[in-house]
A and B are shown apart, each in its own frame.
Chain A
């Protein structure tokens, strides 16, 4: 008598399959969670997107005129989609993983043979899934009311996925360190929101004085939003390749940090 993984450790292909099933299961569980609590996961961003649309579209937007040569509504659309992707990826992982820690069902994964990198990947994939679901809803709302060009679909998808991975990992690390529910809302409120607002979601940094423009360059979200916007409009406040390099470095560093922490399981195992 022997167990699946035990048998599989002697056969690399079978071990890969066992791990894949584990990864898939985490993703399925995240999907079940997103669907089960859809009023918390999907609805808020859809509502916010509609509100922005009303306010910028018919109240303020026309008075602002153009930004980098585009109607304001068109200019901010990619930024607002990206904002939804960032917030939802982050929130999905931080609340699901912290919830699992708090409710102790993280132990279901910790006693299982799944290695840390699979667990991290599973949660990140869940974050991407939620980011994509909400991102598509918000894009749908905006595309319905504006004429948004789509110049480089590959860049759009690549920027969205890398951003989503970055913030999913951010949410994961936040949840690892958090000791209370307060601590999972502090970072989104005091770090994420300012970074998003100063990251060129609502304006082009070209409209800023020089010192402020330089300061903006330390905000990683600027690179994400700019490259994402470049995919739609073909304009960017920063070099697109610089942006991708920064995102890839961020993803790599955060991923390694997450695995290391989970292996050492600071904040989870006694």
Chain B
């Protein structure tokens, strides 16, 4: 079954901006799905329509088979959403916010109290449960919105840049947490500008640009399509010019750094053999950019050129 399925979804805002130009997309139940795209691509608009915060201009959407136009109540009850912008009452305490949210989904207070404790603890907000939430730090506010979205135990969790402005340590623990929730059966759709995050977490991916899906594939397939990779080598001894490496494209960035582009048909062993011959000592090596990032940039640039 599809957790989410949209057909020919379009959206034109009141000011004439065409944010979505016919989106077709299906996300399977149980998936961990990345929805990527540059700023203004239409990700938040798409999520807005699915969570009924934005009215669509055309097309259809179903959530676990419930049509948004005809079975809105059932469809809405399946979704938990973590929005891009803070949207809780900053004068209320975290505990009040999550318990009331559960109430809006028809969950009795005693049950909501138990869950509030569970999720606020898991998201490390339990100590702050009685504070006014405007006094939380930015990262804590994001975590509060995650806790809030989980209170009615939705089958589909949609997160719109949940890790924006969150420190590395918390981000990693959030990844762990989301993975766990996904393993327990919740379908997750995630947007993020940290492509490393999408690469580590997600199994399937769609890239949206200028209101259109420009790519939709399994993450592993997409990464395999990367034909060349650029490595950055740090050298022990300074060089005055780029080393002579026939078959590879090498560039001297500064006297201790060389960038080498390697295609999939070549291998890294030969490169190192050649470097040894030249007496060049490499002390470390890394990818120039994350692999998904490289594909992403190419796709989006191609889209912009077309």
Q: A-side interface residues toward B, CB under 8 Å?
A: 1-6, 8-9, 15, 17-19, 21-22, 24-26, 28-29, 32, 36, 99-100, 103-105, 107-115, 265, 269-270
Would A22 and B87 count as touching, CB distance under 8 A? no
Q: Please report the C-alpha to C-alpha distance between residue A2 and residue B106 in the assembled complex, in whole angstroms.
A: 13
Total number of B residues with any Cβ neighbor in A under 8 Å = 44
Contacts of A113 in B (CB 8 A): 72-74, 76-77, 104-106
Could you tell me which B residues sit within 8 Å of A by CB distance? 13-14, 48, 51-55, 64, 66, 71-74, 76-79, 81, 83, 85-92, 96, 100-101, 103-109, 148, 152-155, 185
Name the residue in A19, A99, A103 with the highest tally of chain B Cβ atoms < 10 Å from its Cβ. A103
Q: In the complex the two chains form, is B96's CB within 8 Å of A32's CB? A: yes
Q: Are B55 and A269 in contact (CB under 8 A)?
A: yes
Q: Which residue of B lies closest to A104 (CB)?
A: B87
Minimal Cβ-Cβ distance residue in B for A118: B104
Residues of B within 8 A of A99 (CB): 89
Q: Is the CB of B88 within 8 A of A111?
A: no
Q: In the bound complex, how far is the Cα of B13 from the Cα of A151, in angstroms?
A: 58
Known A32-B92, A103-B90: A5·B105 in contact at CB below 8 Å = yes
Q: How far is the CB of A143 from chain B (nearest CB, A)?
A: 34
Instruction: Report the 7 A-B pairs with minimum CB-CB distance, sorted nearest first.
Output: A18-B106, A25-B103, A5-B77, A112-B104, A104-B87, A113-B76, A113-B73
In terms of DSSP, what is the predominant structure of the interface of chain B?
A: loop
Pair B73/A108 contact, Cβ less than 8 Å: no
Residues B154 and A107 in contact, CB atoms below 8 Å apart: no
A270 close to B14 (CB less than 8 A): yes
How close is A105's CB to chain B, nearest CB, in angstroms?
4
* A6 with B78: CB separation less than 8 A: yes
- B residues less than 8 Å from A1 (CB atoms): 153, 155, 185
Question: With contacts A3-B152, A111-B53, A111-B81 known, is A29 near B73, CB below 8 A?
Answer: no
Distance A112 CA – B74 CA, assembled complex (angstroms): 10
Q: Which residues of A contact B87 (CB under 8 A)?
A: 103-105, 107-108
Residues in B neighbouring A115, C-beta threshold 8 A: 73
Q: Considering the chains assembled together, what is the distance between the CA atoms of A22 and B64 in angstroms?
A: 23
Q: Are B103 and A28 in contact (CB under 8 A)?
A: yes
- Asked if A3 and B104 sit within 8 Å, CB to CB, the answer is no
Most buried by B among A6, A103, A110, A111: A111
Q: How far, in Å, is A30 (CB) from chain B's closest CB? A: 11
Q: A21-B108, A28-B103, A107-B87 are in contact. Are A9 and B73 (CB under 8 A)?
A: yes
Which A residues lie within 8 Å of B53 (CB)?
A: 107, 110-111, 269-270
Contacts of A110 in B (CB 8 A): 52-53
Q: Within the complex, which residue of B85, B91, B104 is in contact with A109, where a contact is CB–CB below 8 Å?
A: B104
Closest Cβ neighbor of A107 among chain B residues: B87
